[in-house]
Structure 1
Amino acid sequence: MDHAFPLRVYYEDTDFGGVVYYANYLKFIERGRSEWLRDLGLDQKALKSEAGLVFAVRRVVADYLRPAQFDDALVVHTRLATLGGARLDLQQEVRRDGVVLFTADVTLVCMSLQGKATRLPDALRAAFA
């Protein structure tokens, strides 16, 4: 499943030249992941308060291919690549008019509030299936 999350580049997202500051792509893909989980019916706030589980980013491999600029309409695409015992491997892209500007391979780990990797509960696995 390819999830699409639209966003607009605001002035605050750019550097002096009006180009998106490199670190803001990480914020963009974070928003895309959060909305992907929400659209799957997963309430991260409830997951934390009721099950004591959170997702943490373990690894990001990013490629900056083309610059986005102030006022661009972008779309963050998120796709589950693999599902492990306690981890999710995602592929994410930021596109403008269908052109890929940024790609990232992201590994998320399901963790307890004590910071220990925890196997994904069956209900979560079902949501990702």
Structure 2
Amino acid sequence: MTDHVFDVRVHYEDTDMGGIVYHANYLKFIERARSDWVATLGIDQNALRAAGMAFAVARIEADFLRPARLDDRLTVLTRTVSGSGARMVLAQTVSLKGSVLFDAVVTLAAFDMASGRPRRLPPALRAPVG
């Protein structure tokens, strides 16, 4: 799989009173990037949900390195690190003009919505890591 790039503009609602991005909003930025990435792979998350399948974040390890500010144009890079039957690990970074502001390793798990049990990843997500 190739790297996925997603652009984000920091809006007023993303910031605290000082005009700096509130820490929890980085998680929203990387979530939007993952959703966009899955769509670009041709995976319809509404169809998966209708079939009783969903993804859950099982673990996030995050480093807040530098602040982003109101009106910054950020880039979220998503890269596949590893994958197995029902789990995959992604590296995601949020950058401003090439400087990394936020770095995360995200473990996702596919599961059956009715039983809560693990479910195999869709074929497009089981492609070789890269």
TM-score range relative to shorter protein: over 0.9
Q: SS state of the match for residue 62, structure 1?
A: strand
Q: SS state of the match for residue 23, structure 1?
A: helix
Matched letter for residue 64 of structure 1: F
- Tell me whether 1:105 sits opposite 2:122 in the alignment: no
For the residues of structure 1 that align with 2:127 and 2:65, how far apart are their CA atoms?
34
On the 8 A contact 1:41/1:127 being kept in 2, the answer is no
TM-aligned CA deviation for residue 121 of structure 1: 4.3
- Tell me whether 1:57 sits opposite 2:79 in the alignment: no
Identity of aligned residues (%): 56
The Cα RMSD (Å) is 1.7
Matched letter for residue 116 of structure 1: R
Gaps of 5+ in 2: none
For the residues of structure 2 that align with 1:68 and 1:41, how far apart are their CA atoms?
31
Find the counterpart in structure 2 of residue 35 from structure 1: 36
Find the counterpart in structure 1 of residue 96 from structure 2: 96
State how 1:1-129 maps to structure 2 within 5 Å.
Answer: 1-49=2-50, 51-114=51-114, 115-122=116-123, 124-126=125-127
Alignment coverage as a number of residue pairs: 128
CA gap of 1:71–1:128, structure 2 versus 1, over 3 A, is same
For the residues of structure 1 that align with 2:31 and 2:13, how far apart are their CA atoms?
17
The farther-off stretch of 105-114 and 115-124 is 115-124
On the 8 A contact 1:86/1:120 being kept in 2, the answer is yes
TM-score by length of 2: 0.92
Q: SS state of the match for residue 6, structure 2?
A: strand
TM-aligned CA deviation for residue 52 of structure 1: 1.5
Q: SS state of the match for residue 33, structure 2?
A: helix
TM-score by length of 1: 0.93
